[in-house]
Amino acid sequence: MLSASARLLRLLSLLAARPSWTCAELAGRMAVTDRTVRRDIARLRELGYTVDSEAGPWGGYRLRPGARVPPLILDDEEALAVAVGLRGAALDGALGGDQAALSALLKLRQVLPPRIAERLGEWDDALVRLPWPDEPRLRPGMLLELAAACRRAERARLSYRDGQDRHTVRDVDPYRLVHTGRRWYFVARDPARGWRTFRADRVERLRPTGHPVEITDPPDPAELVSRNTAAGPYPLSATVRLPLPMADALRVVPATVGTHRPDGPDATIVDIGGPDPDGLARYLLGLATPLRVLAPDSVRQALVRRTRALLAAHTDDGPPPG
């Protein structure tokens, strides 16, 4: 005979399997009395499951969505499907909140039976994603390792290889993962140098140290990534004013390209990094939107030269385009 807890799990699985059951049908499937079914239904309701009942000979029980999320019962195939779906959602940003997808996947993997966890590992090994041009490749499982480190509130030892192929090892206090649409960034506090962002695809290893940490007054992780990626390693930065509200300006110049701040309700100031004045002028012209270069003069002059050359090339008496 099943224990009371096992019987409740079995009953919940049956209720979730089809829209409606009569009391007699449930009693027959579970090999218990009608009275036991009614008592177990009452217990499920106490646990937060919304089970509707209909009186009469053709009435029965129906499980419907409740006001909160109670524990779920999944069979092997369902658990694997949910884990695969969450992993895909985290990688492609389909849910918008990638951190939530990773957090849910971490919770699920902690309770997966070994046989399902092994199948998920086999799926990870067999999966081949065709990346977009210049899209970085992440080592399988790295996102989960980084997300787990963010949840532990524990200092970790980071092995990292930067854009110049320099290898460093440092202790960091993990905080958040940020997805920009093309790349994942790991936000952490370096005890010696302050808050830093690291490209997740360049993380080689992250090991817990066992040293608990408390993070107080953290920065906005998305803003930190936006500011650091926009500035980048560029030797020159230009400040421009777009006659657009912040939301529209972000669509013209993505947050990964520029650092934005409002200039009243209908304008936005954007700082954009570039290799040289001419390169920045070329990028600004490509935006195809009205703007004003506030600084520096070298970028303003380069933009004027390019604009005049473009105008001359399209007038009747101008020189032919070279």
**Per-residue confidence (pLDDT) for residue 62, from 0 to 100:** 87
| Long-range contacts, 131-138 (Cβ 8 Å, 24+) | 132/182, 134/182, 135/182, 135/183, 136/183, 136/199, 136/201, 136/202, 137/201, 138/91, 138/184, 138/200, 138/201
**Per-residue confidence (pLDDT) for residue 236, from 0 to 100:** 85
Look at 13-17, 60-64, 180-184 and tell me which has the smallest mean pLDDT: 180-184
**Per-residue confidence (pLDDT) for residue 96, from 0 to 100:** 45
Residues 188-222: pLDDT tens digits? 999 989 999 999 989 999 999 989 998 888 998 88
pLDDT band at 143 (very low <50, low <70, confident <90, very high): confident
Between 81 and 296, name the one with better pLDDT. Answer: 296
- The pLDDT of 31-53, averaged and rounded, is 89
**Per-residue confidence (pLDDT) for residue 49, from 0 to 100:** 82
| Contact (Cβ atoms closer than 8 angstroms) between residue 95 and residue 89 | yes
Q: How far is CA 120 from CA 74, 79, 125, 148, in A?
A: 15, 10, 9, 17
Look at 114-118, 220-224, 255-259, 318-322 and tell me which has the smallest mean pLDDT: 318-322
Neighbours of 28 (CB within 10 A): 13
**Per-residue confidence (pLDDT) for residue 296, from 0 to 100:** 94
Model-wide pTM > 0.85: no
**147 pLDDT higher than 50:** yes
**Per-residue confidence (pLDDT) for residue 97, from 0 to 100:** 47
User: Which helix (DSSP H) or strand (DSSP E) does residue 283 occupy?
Assistant: helix 277-286
Neighbours of 49 (CB within 10 A): 21
State the burial class of residue 105 (Cβ atoms within 10 Å of its Cβ: 0-12, 13-18, 19+). buried
Residues 58-103: pLDDT tens digits? 668 988 866 455 566 667 777 777 777 777 666 655 444 456 666 6
**Per-residue confidence (pLDDT) for residue 122, from 0 to 100:** 66
**Per-residue confidence (pLDDT) for residue 228, from 0 to 100:** 77
At 26 the three-state DSSP class reads helix
